[in-house]
Amino acid sequence: MINRGQRETVTARALVNASGAWMRQVAETVLHLPAVQASFTKVSQIVAEPLPGGDFSHESFDDQVDNARRCWPFLSERHAHRLVAAYGTRIGRILGAAKSMDDLGPVFGDDLTGAEVSYLMREEFARFADGILWRRSKLGLTMPRQDCGALATFMAAA
């Protein structure tokens, strides 16, 4: 005699085994519907378009870093590399007409500046320090605790 728990297990196994082939047939049928085909076309078009700031080839990344260092010679190689990797051709929206690091506002950690934080708040709707330090950049891995607090204070005052 099969008790209730065993019956549910047996039924679940039977469903998984039987439904595998049936689900494949359903999936294949759905994939051939005109509306689904149209949405795949839209997705492939979206995938083909570069992300904001990413309108340059992978091979020209180093050229972008060099260009950033020519435009803003006060940037270190590492800082320019991080900014180009994060923002691409939108780096000018952050650095603007800055002539020195002092023009970029307070510095949090190694090289996160007030100008970059302001850009993230204005353009990417960052609201909390943790969003910048962990979700957008992972700079929280190396940023001293006191700088994290200063960043939170800076954002709250903006």
Say yes or no: 39 and 96 in one domain.
no
Say yes or no: 40 and 100 in one domain.
no
pLDDT digits (tens, 9 = 90+) for 17-75: 555 666 667 666 766 666 656 565 655 555 567 777 888 888 999 999 999 999 999 99
Assess if residue 78 is contained within a domain: no
80 or 35, greater pLDDT: 80
Give me the amino acid identity at 115: A
Domain that holds residue 34: 4-48
Please provide the average confidence, as pLDDT, over all residues in the chain. Answer: 83
In 10 A of CB 60, how many CB atoms?
11
Confidence (pTM): 0.70
Say yes or no: 96 and 153 in one domain.
yes
Distance (Å, rounded) from C-alpha 98 to C-alpha 55? Answer: 23
pLDDT at 88 over 60: yes
Helix-helix angle 77-87:61-71, to 10 degrees: 120
Domain containing residue 122: CATH number: 1.10.8
Helix-helix angle 4-31:34-48, to 10 degrees: 80
Number of domains in the chain: 2
